[in-house]
Structure 1
Amino acid sequence: MSGRELTLLAEGRIELLGRILRSSNATFLVRVTWGDDSACAVYKPEAGERPLSDFEPGLYRRERAAYLLSEYLEWGIVPSTVIREDSPLGIGSLQWFVECDFDEHYFTLYADAPETHHVLSRIALFDCIANNTDRKSGHVLRGHDGRVWGIDHGLCFSAGFKLRTVIWDFAGEPVPGALLEDITPLAEAVPPDVAELLDDAEVTALQRRVQRLLHERVLPVDRTGMRYPWPLV
């Protein structure tokens, strides 16, 4: 990601603009300003997380871990994301805001934009590795520049298999060899900056998911028909 984005997110003064509605946890649109430069970002404070039985508090760490994993793989799926302790409502994640048409999402892109399918299938693979529990259609965005992004990764990296996603259209398809090469190092070691945001069991489980993908070489199939998030969009 660009140095400008990371500088603004990591160093910029944060101004709360308003709450983003229809989010399970308290999520805010903010403006970050550094010198004469400014941009919008999405702020998810730990203080705004509702208690969950299967995830410890601190979902912001998983948002950051997903970004770092995407960068390590050089897939560019997750917008720039940092952790800020000096945020208005306390520690949380700060993610670059994607300017886009919010009427577009996974379902519309899959149906109407076949040129995005290679990116969508890569997001499906990323979600298998990250064990994404909540890939709704609205968590896939296409920026005004045409670039496709995946957002909202607070419910990822569980040690137990919890994959829930709307992206099943590529199930059973072979994973391209180049992508298998990209993920191969993860079978032996998870990058330290990712591992430090997870617990040991989650790190081990990530490696095992990669090992299974390398063995099977295809995207998984949901034979239960139950592995969908709700709501779908």
Structure 2
Amino acid sequence: MAADPEAALELLRSGELEVHGRVTSASNAVLYCTVTLDGLTVPCAYKPVAGEQPLWDFPDGTLAGREEASFLVSAATGWGLVPPTVMRDGQAGPGTVQLWIEPDDEAEELIDLQDPAGPEPGWLPIVRADVGGGRTALLVHRDDERLRRLAVLDAVLNNSDRKGGHWITAPDGRLYGIDHGVTFAEPAKLRTLLWGWAGEPLPDEASEVLGRLAGALDGALGESLRPLITPVELDATRARVTVLVRGGRHPEPSPDWPSIPWPPV
């Protein structure tokens, strides 16, 4: 279903939503549901606004809108990195409903702890980690095109919480990013594990996508985002894309903001 976003969006918007339980590991309310339309039933995650925990640096009741806004930006890139997501009413009031992506338990690991002397071939360093007993290890992620696209998307979204558990490899090999409630803030808040390309030139593909995205933000995409984020946040998003296009490089960690989310995984 994720491979057909338009059909998935129609199902999520118009289908009958049935709640089956709560994802207890989430800090905000996340309800595991199914949605059914015309005899087709698929699993989904429902995040009601009423279940959002207050945050000091984001206005109350805005996380769900940021989730949908992240999907819209992802869709505009053509990379399809965020599962289809809509705002709608459910049993607990308005919130986002997102297509549930079942992880591939056999997929290769994308992060690892390795010898502090340096990453193994095919891996990129993130940070040295204290593993106890006076020992350290090197936290690394794979040099993977899917992760690199996600790093570019996060730079656009100003994602403040790209933990290692906030991406899923599906059985078809596609990578999806989830949990985008703390995005689109005006000040720089990028906090991620995907620093392996920091300061490196952007791939040609990413530069082309960002160029198209800049135009879309001045047009239909920008209009779609207006109900979901503030005008100041929309302007800041345009500015981040402009900086990426003109600079042509992956961003580097800011000295004024923690660069790694906690917990990292």
Using the size of structure 1 for normalisation, the TM-score is 0.91
Counterpart in 1 of 2:248?
Answer: 217
Supply the distance in 2 between the matched residues of 1:113 and 1:167 (Cα, whole angstroms).
Answer: 7
Counterpart in 2 of 1:2?
Answer: 5
Supply the distance in 2 between the matched residues of 1:231 and 1:61 (Cα, whole angstroms).
Answer: 24
Counterpart in 2 of 1:167?
Answer: 194
Counterpart in 2 of 1:39?
Answer: 42
Determine which structure has the larger strand proportion and give its number: 2
* 3-state SS of 1:79 partner: coil
The one of 201, 210, 216 equivalent to 1:183 is: 210
The one of 216, 231, 234 equivalent to 1:203 is: 234
Q: List gaps (5 residues or longer) in structure 1.
A: none
1:124, CA displacement in angstroms?
0.3
Q: List gaps (5 residues or longer) in structure 2.
A: 113-121, 124-139
Supply the distance in 2 between the matched residues of 1:144 and 1:93 (Cα, whole angstroms).
Answer: 24
CA contact (8 A) 1:141 1:148 kept: yes
Counterpart in 1 of 2:136?
Answer: none
Determine which structure has the larger helix proportion and give its number: 1
Counterpart in 1 of 2:150?
Answer: 123
Counterpart in 1 of 2:56?
Answer: 53
Using the size of structure 2 for normalisation, the TM-score is 0.81
Counterpart in 1 of 2:261?
Answer: 229
1:103, CA displacement in angstroms?
8.3
The higher radius of gyration belongs to 2
> Which digits, 9 at most, give the CA deviation of each residue in 1:146-201, with x for residues without a partner?
11111111110001111111111121221112221221244456221123311111
CA contact (8 A) 1:25 1:50 kept: yes
* Aligned residue pairs, count: 230
Counterpart in 1 of 2:178?
Answer: 151
1:205, CA displacement in angstroms?
0.5
